[in-house]
Amino acid sequence: MTFVNLNLKTHYDTSNDDFINDFFQPLLQESIQYDRGVGYFSSSWLTINSKGMTKFAENGGYARWITSPVLSKADWDHLWLGDKARHDEFLHQLLLKSVKNLLESLEKNTLDALSWLISDKILDFKLAVPRNQLSGEFHDKFGIFTDNDGNKISFSGSYNDSLQGIRNYESITVFKSWDPNYQEVVFSEQKRFGHLLHAFEFGAPPHGGIAWGLDRLLMIFRDESNIREVIAFPKDQKAKDLMLNAPSEMPAAQVAEMHIRIDVPKKK
């Protein structure tokens, strides 16, 4: 069966629909690829989607997440463990022994299952931090499923990947690649995900493929609401250092010593 045979709605909301059984599980069970950009991820999402993720893995599926680095310490530790196990065969085998039954592990031992899924290259995670004129969090929420026939389903809405997400009022809108009215939307979303994923190749510093961000880590561990609270010399919204009063006008003596000429246009 392919996506075309699924009875999917155009709109889902948590007041009227079961996001897991009505949407995620049927699609994961028929997918070979899942691309997800989301503001918040928790391993609890894997727990409640255990049946769908088990079949997804059996299909030889490959899932890629782009999410903000706002993670629980336990999730953080097991993302790191899974990535390390990719390059450490002994550690990989230990994880394999702890996950003898994927469905059972996802339901009862989710964190080890998360590490194993990463180490076995079924899941990939990229942590996104907005740059340039943006100073907040990566807060987008969209996804694209692909089946074995190349059909695609894209969705977007307010839903984060967590247990709390199905307890809130949330909604998503669904687009099908075989529907000529929405084909352009689906492929545009796929292109956008690729752009976000590969942006690391052009702008990120050397970090071996993982950009944890020390300042943001400290913010999470100290439970601070603003990253400026853990930066040694934080700047305000106008890029001014209030501790050093910089940038500021140079004293005339220092300007003369450096042989600098300053031409300030007269105010009209």
Does 267 reside within a domain?
A: no
Comparing 6 with 239, the larger pLDDT belongs to 6
CATH classification of the domain holding 195 = 3.30.870.10
Give how many domains the chain has, as a whole number.
1
Q: Is residue 200 part of a domain?
A: yes
Residue 131 has pLDDT above 90, yes or no: no
pLDDT digits (tens, 9 = 90+) for 143-181: 999 999 999 999 999 999 999 999 999 999 999 999 999
- State residue 246's pLDDT score: 76
Q: Which residues face 34 on adjacent strands?
A: 63, 145
Q: Is residue 243 part of a domain?
A: no
Q: Give Dmax over CA atoms of the chain in angstroms.
A: 80
Query: Is the residue at 80 inside a domain?
Result: yes
Cβ atoms of 103 and 50 closer than 8 Å: yes
| Beta-sheet strand order (sheet of 123-127) | 11-13, 171-176, 152-157, 141-147, 31-38, 62-67, 123-127
Structure tokens at 126: 């990229």
pLDDT of residue 70: 87
Q: Average pLDDT for residues 66-70, to the nearest whole number?
A: 90
Q: Is 70 inside a domain boundary?
A: yes
pLDDT band of residue 207 (cuts 50, 70, 90) is very low
Q: Mean pLDDT throughout 2-27? A: 96
Check pLDDT > 80 for residue 141: yes
> What pLDDT is recorded for position 154?
98
Residue 134 falls inside a structural domain: yes
Other beta carbons within 10 angstroms of residue 50's beta carbon come to 20
- Distance from the first to the final alpha carbon of the chain: 72
In a domain, residue 56? The reply is yes
| H/E segment holding residue 125 | strand 123-127
pLDDT per position as a tens digit, 88-114: 998 889 898 889 899 999 999 999 999
Pairing of strands 31-38, 141-147: antiparallel
Alpha helices in 11-127 (DSSP H): 25-30, 44-48, 50-58, 73-85, 89-98, 102-108, 110-119
Share of the chain above pLDDT 70, in %: 88
Nearest Cα to 5, choosing from 153, 111, 187? 153
Q: Which domain holds residue 189?
A: 3-216
More confident residue, 197 or 41: 41
